[in-house]
Structures are given as structure tokens and as C-alpha cells.
Structure 1
Amino acid sequence: MPKYQSRKQGELKEKLKHSYSAMKKEFRQIFEKMDSDFELLSDDEKNILYERKASAWYQVTYHPEWVKKSLALRELDGTDQIVLLSFAWITADYLARLKIRGQGMENVNSGKPVNSLVKYLADRMNMTII
């Protein structure tokens, strides 16, 4: 951030925080939009569908095949700009649940950065990690 006087810098930080929150809320609403039958499902069934959707969003964004395609599009465009495809942090809670379940919950090693995030999110979601 440019060097502003303290008051201006505080105002800028608040504007950025507000913009970030608004963007996160908007994309979370897009993520959570489902068919009308969705409301008839149990909470566990809803979570499973959200986890599948989060996994799909992550897959099409970060799978090597899709990364190659995004790089190819960038080359065709003739620009050196980085193509940003996703906001994985929008669905981090569901991705963490998948990670926990994939590790059998008892094998979470919080020494690894991704597992540290999993443990942090699990703690915030009141999940038990043995």
C-alpha cells in the first residue's frame, strides 16, 4: 500500500476489508445455490453435495489438465497476464472436510501446512480430530 497518513491508511484497509467480505459473500451465495429439491435433504446429504461441488470447483481449477488449458488460452491471447480461475478459499471448509475424511480423521498431521489448515478449520467447525 502506498504510504498515506495513518488515518487514510486505516480508511483504505477498511474499504479493502469490506470489499473482500462482500466478494466472498457473493461467491459463497453462488456456490450454495442449488436446485429447489435441495431444501428437502438432510443436513448430512446437503453437506455431501456441497463437498462434491467444492471438489469439482477445485478439480477444474487446479487439475494439471485445466492449468495447461488456461496457459494455452493465455498464449493464444498473446498476453503475459496470469489467468485466475478460482477462489478456492470460498469453499475451504468443505475442502477441509474432504481432506479430513480422506485421511480417516485420525491421521491428520498438523505439521504439514495443508493439514495445519485442515485442523484449524476443523476446530472452527467444531469437528473432532483424534
Structure 2
Amino acid sequence: MNIDEVMAALDAIPDPALRAAVTHSVPGDPVRVERLDLPGAEYWLIPFADDEGLRAVVEVRSGRAVKGGVVTAPGAGFLLAPGAALDAVRATGAAPGPSPRLVWQPCAESWDSFQPLWLVDTAGGPVFVDQAGTVHEELHTDLKGA
């Protein structure tokens, strides 16, 4: 996904507060997230920041903006860094593989697509690290609404 595709997707944003936040900030690198519940599906999260920090995040699927959020506390970070996810796994005593990737599906560990999980391969099998740095050995998708 390139910046032209991102900007074209943003043209359809109906929310005036989100449109203002996006218009008055600079887009960061889009981040790809795989959907675990929909094989082959993915979406992109695009952070927007200014000199004070993160201002908005927009979710883009199939070339169009489908969801956005305005950040009211600009000092907030975007996503847990991949290195921090690996460190969280190491802290459990497991040896993580080198390349975590962002994934998501509705589950008890993350109901919000703005809060994807890092999928980290280990010798004992894959584990998931949420945006707070908590390691989960499995995702609980059997709950009502998941």
C-alpha cells in the first residue's frame, strides 16, 4: 500500500474530527495486519502524527477507510514495538523466533481491530502478545460475539 492509495482511501472519511486530525498531521508507515478468522484477509493501520505525537489511526481495507479514531492524548503510542513483543515472550522463558507479525480476530484478548496481537513463533508453538505486552498461549474466540 502506498501513500497515494492511503490518501485516496481517506477522501471518504465522513467524521469531521477525524478528517481534521488526518488533514493536520502526517501519515506514518502503514502497518499490515492479518485476519486469523478470515483466511487471506488483511487490513492496514495508518497512524497520523504531528509534532505533539499520535493524532489519529485509520483502518484501511480493500483500498477504503473503514474505521478511524482520533487520539485525544497525543503522547500515546501507536503499537507495541516488535522488539518489545519478543522481550515479553523471552520473559516467559520461551525462545521467540525472529519475525513476529501482527494478526487479529475478535477474541477475549482483543475485541478491537485497532489492537492487533503480535504472533510470535516459539519452539513450543505460537504465542500471542497483546498491545499491553501480555503473552497469551491461545486466543479465546468461543465467547458470545467473538
Of structures 1 and 2, the larger Rg is shown by 1
Indicate the structure with greater helix content: 1
TM (norm. structure 1) is: 0.25
TM (norm. structure 2) is: 0.23
Indicate the structure with greater strand content: 2
The structure showing larger relative contact order (alpha-carbon pairs under 8 Å, at least 6 residues apart) is 1
